[in-house]
Chains A and B, each alone.
Chain A
Amino acid sequence: VGCFCEEERRVRANDREYNEKFQYASNCIMTSKYNIITFLPVNLFEQFQEVANTYFLFLLILQLIPQISSLSWFTTIVPLALVLSITAVKDATDDYFRHKSDNQVNNRQSQVLIRGSLQNEKWMNVRVGDIIKLENNQFVAADLLLLSSSEPHGLCYIETAELDGETNMKVRQSVSVTSELGDPNNLASFDGEVVCEPPNNKLDRFCGTLYWREKKYTLTNQNMLLRGCVLRNTEACYGLVIFAGPDTKLMQNSGRTKFKRTSIDRLMNTLVLWIFGFLVCMGVILAVGNAVWEREVGSLFQSYLPWDPPVDNFLFSAFLSFWSYVIILNTVVPISLYVSVEVIRLGHSYFINWDQQMFCSQCNTAAEARTTTLNEELGQVEYIFSDKTGTLTQNIMSFNKCSINGQTYGNRPTGTSAEGENPFYKLDFTPFNPLADPDFCFYDDTLLESVKVGDLHTHEFFRVLSLCHTVMSEEKSEGELVYKAQSPDEGALVTAARNFGFVFRSRTPGTITTTEMGQTVTYSLLAILDFNNIRKRMSVIVRSPEGRIRLYCKGADTVLLERLHPCNQELMNITSDHLNEYAADGLRTLALAYRDLSEDEWEAWSESHRCADKATDCREDRLAAAYEEIEQDMMLLGATAIEDKLQEGVPETIAILSLANIKIWVLTGDKQETAVNIGYSCKMLTDDMTEVFIISGHTVQSVRQELRSLRCPPPPPHPPPPPPPASPPPASPSPPSNLMDNISGEFALVINGHSLAHALEADMEGEFVSTACACKAVICCRVTPLQKAQVVELIKKHKKAVTLAVGDGANDVSMIKSAHIGVGISGQEGIQAVLASDYSFSQFRFLQRLLLVHGRWSYLRMCRFLCYFFYKNFAFTMVHFWFGFFCGFSAQTVYDQYFITLYNIVYTSLPVLAMGIFDQDVPDQRSLEYPKLYEPGQLNLLFNKREFFICITQGIYTSVVLFFVPYAVLSNATQSTGDFYFYLTVLLPCTKRTPLFSLPVQTLFRIFPNQFHFVGSAQSTLLQPVVWLTIALATAICIVPVLAFRFLKLDLKPQLSDTVRYTQLVRQKKRKMGRLGARSGSRRSGYAFAHQEGFGELITSGKNMRLSSLALATFASKHSSSWIDTLRRKKHTHTHTPPSASGEGQMQPAKGSNLACGMNL
């Protein structure tokens, strides 16, 4: 059995010889790429895969041919070596740290059972089939099969933070037969054989069988301890190594994410190709010139300068001259471009990391730019795809309402207005129940009365909540309970039950102990029918002390209501109404039900369940079928409603972003009503909207029908043009010619997952996109992670727009990876999304700063940088082209060689770099105040092919001036220096942040044609006044047209950013002019101004005064409004954080076994 095409893995415990046959990977990991010997060749090989580097290597080779070499080789090798070594140093440091961490990990100690005794071994020496002992708080060294543990029932607890980022504890249990092998002696004689799946990257699945003493035992993920986990709350445990080193699931998961490139990158590559073509053209022109010249003139000149030996005719000479010119003109293809761009992006990334205003003090996390190559794309985002849970909402749950037996409780106006201010209404549970959680808030005392009275349904209702869950409890001292829930929903429900007198105390694998109305009751737990995303429900089967067997089920209402006993019809109707009400309030709902089982039924089912459980193939399907079988004919108890709190500043952020013409789509796994409601509460949907379309068809036809009917009012099938950059004038009197005009009324689209599946089919996607994009808000609910990614891809494909996906959970990873930019919210749901993201921070509201401030600046800076860069290189290089006509096309250089070498890397790089990193056109507050400033980026106005050609033309103009002005001066001059050609060349504007001087201001001058020793000539020439006069003249001629043009543009057609700057300037001046009341005056003008520019459309359309005032208020009075937030926050922590040592961490839900039924898709 070769291990390369491993189909299954066989491991025999304590038998190294047997296991070595398979050549399984050892536990030594290597994440580093190089070692000392391979570093140079491998790294160079990688670097030369970059086209630019290869190009320069090619140039270098050309320069070594003496007949061609027009420049000495050092002009290329110096910059090339510099660029290569900078990259190499960066790679080397990265790799050094990888080596260090590898070493550290490989040399960790673990205790291995060798020949019956425990010995300390380094991790890298652990082999597959070894049995190792783990102690509390140790890292798991490899993927282990848990054999036994110090805790009863072979249980052990692990934390999987390094694996999936979830910090809550998880339980693992050994197979019962091995859990008895307590001590090393027994384990040493253990010779079971495990047959299991080959290494894979699925963290939540494991399929295998243990053969021991002629018996088979099924192994699941529940029996596995994966590498990267930490053992907690467990004294010690023993495990059998199944996968080691690179085969472990942790290492299998560390695949490289796909490399993202920005549109500017792609444009840059195209432009570089064009420039290269241009270079070849110039080379050809000059070579033809050379041919003609050599024939007409050069041949006559041969007595003074014979041709080089290999050259025998003018054509060959022209051929050589072509290559010589390729070398000389190489500075138009700038080698330092790529490096400079990277440096600039790195700088911008640091600014993001350093931004205090994106620091969340509650979670002590600063924003982090995890990818440093995407910054300028942040300034071009047109579509934002947002997850709902944990992104827009806090994912903090509070038990808010419930419906028990057709009676609804908890009715109290919810929402920000009436919340929390009146502690009078908050129920005090302590006199009634000493075990109550003091942080729990509930306001409806009728429910408490009903419990006290002893209403059976109410009791049963809370009993379900206290029994049917997977929460772990910890009781540090009597009555001080800490729940460790896998999802906040579950925590909220169990806490609610606790406060209403049904206290979950503790659990063992076979029992659940509760305190019901003060009496301790122990149920024996017969089965847990666990939650998964397909079933959307979970059940427990328990035997009460009286011996009655009952199945308790809670789950998504859609799923559960289908499985009720027919006699529930009436109750079901009432409850459905309640559920709809709750959903309309934006609450998360669950339905609860139970079923009585007879002993026979249980026995029969138990048998079939065991059968399914033992199956090796399709085990999960069979289990699901078995669960399905028993979860029938249930009796409805009621429903719960949990409130999902919005994050801070979400509505304001969304308002600002949509003013910046960014379209926000919410993609959520939640149900339609909840999603729509969150849409309303974060102001994506407003009551002023003309219509909110809902598409929820189940078949292709119905979806198509619904899509068509939306577009029915505008009859003609329109070509799908991109949405107008600015929303069209509202209420335009002209008859609507196409859909887009009609859209001026605001529409919103809500589409269901199952309809989306049809809408995403090839023949309908175009229709869907054009409809959806015409709507102001789009909400997709009930979507799967895959669909999220599909929607993103769809927009990427059809709209060619820059997309940004923001999410916080594992279900958003696919979307984050497929969008141009992925943003991870490091919030409640673990850090998988963060790990996959390009940028991460902890609050949704930071998105506005990331896009409108950092993104905008980055884009602006990058564009200006590129313009300057191309401009200066053309101005510099084209001079050679002109000179070619005067030097017989012989590829003579105008500049000194050192100057050519250093021009790009020293003389002109630093000023441009400084500008590229620090430039700001308007201050950050202004870009938030005027979201419209963001638009140039979306429309790609600042750097595109047109701008590029303008830069090039400017560069060529400059080169003409720079060449011909001195030429005219000097060819006319009769003086002792007449035989010297004074040369001027440009040093780029080095003034930081001075957009004014986009043109050569500082001139640096150079002298031709001494090959070296030019310092002496410079000394003599610089004393000539004519040199300075010429420099001044050339500079003036270069600057004036551009300056005039810019002034005209600014004066007649100012951009919004110019206007903003102007206002700023006026304001500053006014402030300076006098302290008396000037302040309020300038304020007023600022406000009036905001109306005109940013909010004009809104106001003229009369659509949304509230929105605009809201957006303004956010920034004008951030502090004054934050008290509400503080209050809200406080209330949340009070409600939902049980007093525990481990703090926030424990509230994080586990994705894999999420009980929040149907919520977190």
Chain B
Amino acid sequence: MGKVKTKTGPLARRPDNSAFKQQRLPAWSPMLTANTVLPFFYFMALICMFLGVWLLLTVQSTKEMKLDYTEAGTCDRCFEKRKNVSNAAQPCSCTVVFSIGKKFKGDVFFYYGLRNFHQNLRRYMDSRDDAQMVGRKKNLQTPSTYCFPFTTDQNGQPIAPCGAVANSMFNDSFVLTYHMPGGRPEKVPLLRQGITWYTDKNIKFRNPKTENLTLPEVFKGTAKPLYWQKPVYELDPLDPTNNGFINDDLIIWMREAAFPNFKKLYGVLNRAKEPFTTGLPAGNYSIEISYNFPVQYFRGRKEVVLTTLTWFGGQNHFLPIAYLVTSSLILLVAIVLTVVWWKFGKNGKNMEE
């Protein structure tokens, strides 16, 4: 009877015998044995060492020159002048001189830098209208409320570009001059265009459709930001195509920095002419600064930076050193582990205790 039951009794409710349901799926579950861990550590140490040395050598070949011009040279006069708000409209220019000991070979990048300027405050970063920046007419006339209180001017005209970010745009300008030994001063040519990313220049920032109108006509009915001296369509007097929202300086400024001390690209050395075809020659230089941007309110500093670049960026000593330190630490750990393993746990000694 029992037999009959097992035979005829259907195993209908018997669960499937699949690897998934029976939890027999194949798996890779490595063990942290000495055979795997120790070689891995040595390997990592080697890789890091290699990278560190390589990076260090690369970094050695870069040149960098930093110059804080807040009160340097003749700029102390302008610094004092800008302390008083009522003088804001008055132009002020000053000159700072410096020299470079060794030639800057290759492409040289010209940055301006600000210290203690918080572009990363939440409300500051929010205070912009990206829809306006891509050229939507509607937002040109009625900017987003995020721009408040830089939405409209006293007359109720909408501001273009609106918001705190655009309003506080850096507006010093620089002229770099090379004083050849025994020669006459030579202006260093800088490429002031083509320094933005493609995606910024062509997608995120666009002028409103002109439709046979000139740029000033398009922006008619809008006001310039409060702190600006020129309207947005006259930012670059030299190149009319570099005006409006697609102005390179504006775009670069609008990409907010993550930390209060930051540098932004101002221009790249134009190597078309002698003596700059191979880079920036050693010698004396002067920078003539049109000193407009006040920093004393927020105890900030201004600086210019000249630097050459390598494949992984500018003169960055941290990365190679970090790699070297990490590598030596890993090596140390690996050696300690090896010793410990050799003495105490070789061949899984503890496992078979």
Interface residues of A (CB under 8 A from B): 70, 297-298, 300-301, 303-306, 308, 324, 351, 353-356, 359, 361-362, 364-366, 439, 857, 886-888, 890-893, 918, 920-921, 924, 965, 967-981, 991-996, 1008-1013, 1016-1017, 1019-1020, 1024-1026, 1029-1030, 1032-1033, 1036-1037, 1040-1041, 1043-1044, 1046-1048, 1050-1054, 1058-1059, 1061-1063, 1065-1066, 1089, 1092, 1129-1130, 1133-1134, 1137, 1139, 1143
Q: A1131's closest neighbor in chain B, by CB?
A: B2
A920-B23, A979-B262, A1050-B31 given. 7 additional CB < 8 A pairs?
A356-B17, A973-B313, A981-B259, A1008-B258, A1024-B312, A1024-B313, A1050-B33
Residues of the B chain whose Cβ atoms lie less than 8 Å from the Cβ of A306: 149
User: Hey, which chain B residues are within 8 Å of A1009, CB to CB?
Assistant: 120, 125, 256, 258
Pairwise interchain contact B122-A70, C-beta atoms closer than 8 A:
yes
Residue of A305, A1024, A1134 with most partner-chain B CB within 10 A: A305
Q: Is the CB of B123 within 8 A of A308?
A: yes
Residue numbers in B under 8 Å from A1047 (CB-CB): 32, 34, 37, 337
Nearest Cβ in chain A — how far from B117, in angstroms? Answer: 8
A residues in contact with B263, CB < 8 Å: 974, 978-979
Give the docked Cα–Cα distance between A479 and B164 (Å): 104
Which residues on A sit within 8 Å (CB–CB) of B31? 996, 1050, 1058, 1061-1062, 1065
Rounded to whole angstroms, the CA-CA distance of A893 and B126 in the bound complex is 11
Given A1020-B199, A1030-B319, also A1046-B44 (CB < 8 A): no
A70, A298, A324, A969 — most chain B CB neighbours (10 Å): A969
Task: Check A886/B260 contact, CB under 8 A, given A297-B298, A993-B27.
Answer: yes
Which residues on B sit within 8 Å (CB–CB) of A298? Answer: 121
Among the stretches B8-16, B173-181, B272-280, the one at the interface with A is B8-16
Cα(A485)–Cα(B67), bound, Å = 104
A1026 to B316, Cβ gap below 8 A? yes
Q: Which residue of B lies closest to A364 (CB)?
A: B13
Q: Is B48 an interface residue (CB 8 A)?
A: yes
Which of B6, B197, B261, B316 is within 8 Å of A973, CB to CB? B316
A1150→B5 CA distance, assembly (Å): 24
Chain B nearest CB, measured from A431 CB (Å): 22
Question: Contact between A976 and B265 (Cβ–Cβ < 8 Å)?
Answer: yes
- B residues with a Cβ closer than 8 A to A are 1-3, 5-6, 9-17, 21-23, 25, 27-34, 37, 40-41, 44, 48, 51, 55, 64, 109, 111, 116, 118, 120-127, 130, 149, 164, 167-168, 195, 197-200, 203-204, 252, 255-265, 297-299, 305, 307, 309, 311-319, 322-323, 326, 329-330, 333, 337, 340-341, 344-345, 348, 350-353
Known: A887-B120, A924-B23, A1036-B326. A973 touches B314 (CB 8 A): yes
Known contacts: A364-B9, A969-B318. The answer to whether A1046 contacts B122 by CB under 8 A is no
Contact at A971–B313, with CB atoms within 8 Å?
Answer: no
State how many angstroms separate the Cβ of A1005 from the closest Cβ of chain B: 14
A1020 surroundings in chain B (CB, below 8 A): 197-199
Cβ–Cβ < 8 Å partners of B261 in chain A: 971
Q: Is the beta-carbon distance between A356 and B22 smaller than 8 angstroms?
A: yes
CB < 8 Å neighbour of B121 from A888, A924, A974, A1017 = A888
Q: Which residue of B lies closest to A1028 (CB)?
A: B312
Bound CA span A381–B6, Å: 34
Quote the shortest CB–CB distance from A344 to chain B (angstroms).
14
* B255 pairs with A361, CB closer than 8 A: no
Q: How far is the CA of A1020 from the CA of B64 in the complex (A)?
A: 24
Cβ distance B177 to chain A, nearest Cβ, rounded Å = 22
Contacts of B121 in A (CB 8 A): 298, 301, 305, 887-888, 890, 892
Instruction: List residues of chain B with CB within 8 A of the CB of A1058.
Output: 31, 351
Question: Who on chain B is nearest to A1065 by CB?
Answer: B31
Docked pose: A1048 CA to B27 CA in angstroms: 24
Closest to B319 in A: A969
Bound-state Cα–Cα, A1084 to B316, Å: 60
* Contact between B28 and A991, CB atoms less than 8 A apart: yes
Chain B: minimal CB distance from A974 (Å): 3
Which residues of chain A are near B264, meaning CB under 8 Å? 978-979
- Known pairs A356-B14, A366-B13; A1040 contacts B333 (CB<8 A): yes
- Whether B168 pairs with A304 at a CB distance below 8 angstroms is yes
Complex: chain B residue closest to A1063, CB-CB: B351
Closest A residue, CB atoms, query B199? A1016
Q: What residues of chain B lie closer than 8 Å to A1053, measured between beta carbons?
A: 350
Say whether A1029 contacts B51, CB under 8 Å. Answer: yes
Q: Is the CB of B122 within 8 A of A974?
A: no
Q: Is the CB of B15 within 8 A of A356?
A: yes
Task: Give the residue of B118, B307, B348 whose beta carbon is less than 8 angstroms from that of A1062.
Answer: B348
Q: Which residue from B255, B298, B345 sits with its C-beta under 8 Å from A1051?
A: B345
Q: A304-B167, A979-B264 are in contact. Are A972 and B316 (CB under 8 A)?
A: yes
* Alpha-carbon separation in the docked complex, A1040 to B40 (Å): 10
Question: Given that A300-B297, A979-B258, A1037-B326 are known contacts, is A972 also in contact with B318, CB under 8 Å in the complex?
Answer: yes
A300 engages B299 (CB within 8 Å): yes
Are B311 and A1025 touching (Cβ within 8 A)? yes
CA distance A675 to B345 in the complex (A): 50
Contacting pair A1033 B149 (CB below 8 A): no
4 closest A-B pairs (Cβ-Cβ)?
Answer: A1016-B199, A981-B258, A974-B314, A1051-B345
**Are A1052 and B5 closer than 8 Å at their CB atoms?**
no
Docked complex Cα distance between A1019 and B305 (Å): 26
Q: Is the CB of B13 within 8 A of A969?
A: no
Provide the bound-state CA to CA distance between A888 and B322, in Å: 28
**A924-B23, A976-B109, A996-B29 known; A1133+B1 contact, CB < 8 A:** yes
24 contacts across the A-B interface (CB closer than 8 A): A297-B299, A301-B121, A301-B298, A304-B124, A304-B298, A305-B123, A308-B123, A356-B17, A356-B22, A365-B13, A924-B23, A969-B322, A974-B305, A979-B258, A981-B258, A993-B29, A1011-B126, A1029-B51, A1040-B44, A1047-B34, A1048-B337, A1051-B340, A1062-B33, A1133-B1
Give the contacting residue for B15; candidates A297, A359, A362, A1041; CB below 8 A. Answer: A359
B122–A892 CB distance below 8 A: yes
Q: Which residues of A contact B198 (CB under 8 A)?
A: 1020
Alpha-carbon distance A1030/B195, docked complex (angstroms): 24
* Selected contact of A366 from candidates B1, B14, B48, CB within 8 Å: B14
Decide: A890 and B123 in contact? CB cutoff 8 A. yes
Which residues of chain A come closer than 8 Å to B22, judged between CB atoms?
Answer: 354-356
B315 contact set on A, CB distance < 8 A:
974
**How far apart are the CA atoms of A359 and B10 in the complex, in Å?**
13
Whole-angstrom distance from the CB of B238 to the nearest CB of chain A? 22
Q: Which residues of B contact A1089 (CB under 8 A)?
A: 352
Query: Would you give the shortest CB distance from A352 to chain B, in whole angstroms?
Result: 10
Given A1052-B344, A1054-B351, A1139-B1, A968:B311 Cβ within 8 A? no
Q: Which residues of B contact A366 (CB under 8 A)?
A: 13-15
B28 touches A994 (CB 8 A): yes
Shortest CB-to-CB span from B255 to chain A, Å, is 6
Q: Across the interface, do B15 and A355 meet the contact criterion of CB distance under 8 Å?
A: yes
Known contacts A1033-B326, A1062-B348; A364 and B10 CB within 8 A of each other:
yes
Residues of B within 8 A of A1012 (CB): 130
Asked whether B318 lies within 8 Å of A1130 as measured between CB atoms, the reply is no
Kindly list chain B residues whose C-beta atoms are within 8 Å of the C-beta of A992: 27
Which residues in B have their C-beta under 8 angstroms from that of A308?
Answer: 123
Contacts of A979 in B (CB 8 A): 252, 255-258, 262-264
- Considering the complex, give the chain B residue whose CB is closest to the CB of A1050: B32
The docked-state distance in angstroms from the alpha carbon of A977 to that of B260 is 15
Q: When the two chains form the complex, which single residue of B124, B204, B326, B351 contacts A1016, counting CB atoms closer than 8 Å?
A: B204
Q: How far is the CA of A1037 from the CA of B45 in the complex (A)?
A: 11
What is the CB-to-nearest-CB distance from A718 to chain B, in angstroms, rounded to a whole number?
A: 32
- Min CB–CB distance B15 → chain A (angstroms): 4
How far apart are the CA atoms of A304 and B14 in the complex, in Å?
74
**CB-based nearest B residue for A1037:** B326
- Residue among A892, A968, A980 making CB contact with B318, cutoff 8 Å: A968
Interface contact B307-A1040, CB-CB below 8 Å: no
Report chain B residues within 8 Å CB of A1052.
Answer: 340, 344-345, 350
